Amino acid sequence: MHQVFEITRTSRKVLAGFLENYSLEQLNKVPEGFNNNLIWNIGHIIVVQQMLVYKLSGLPMMVSNEMLEKYKRGTKPESEVSQAEVDEIQSLLFETINQTKADFNANIFKTYNEFTSLSGFTMRNAEDAMAFNYYHEAMHIGMMMSLRKFV
């Protein structure tokens, strides 16, 4: 599991770079031909990791219900995000991963509701979910690399 967390931390450093190097206006811009923006992708990545690992394990998530509803699969930006929300997302980038690693070390993940992703990967436990998560994050970072050219 150590390598899974190192890969995820590397992914989160890339995401932090977007938050540090793009203005609030750029983070919120939905370019023509796209369904979402940079900040939605980052919020979505955080929410999905929490859902895959914690919710499917029957454990409380570190994200609010409001954040869950705003960034879960099938959503898109409905309004601009404030600087305060960007700051919250930025703090959750690493807090969620640090807590997940601590929780794995504490062996709290006892049960899991099996789940198959849209891409066909079946997760049978929290370890599978973290392994799938870095694929999911990389896919969204790729989308963000395209988006950034238009903001």
How far is residue 151's CA from residue 146's CA, in Å, rounded to a whole number?
Answer: 10
Taking only the tens place, the pLDDT of each residue in 81-134 is 999 999 999 999 999 999 999 999 999 999 999 999 999 999 999 999 999 998
**Opening angle at CA 17, ends 96 and 51, nearest 5:** 25
Taking only the tens place, the pLDDT of each residue in 18-62 is 999 999 999 999 999 999 999 999 999 999 999 999 999 999 999
- What is the reported pLDDT for 3? 86
Q: How confident is the model at residue 4 (pLDDT cuts 50, 70, 90)?
A: confident
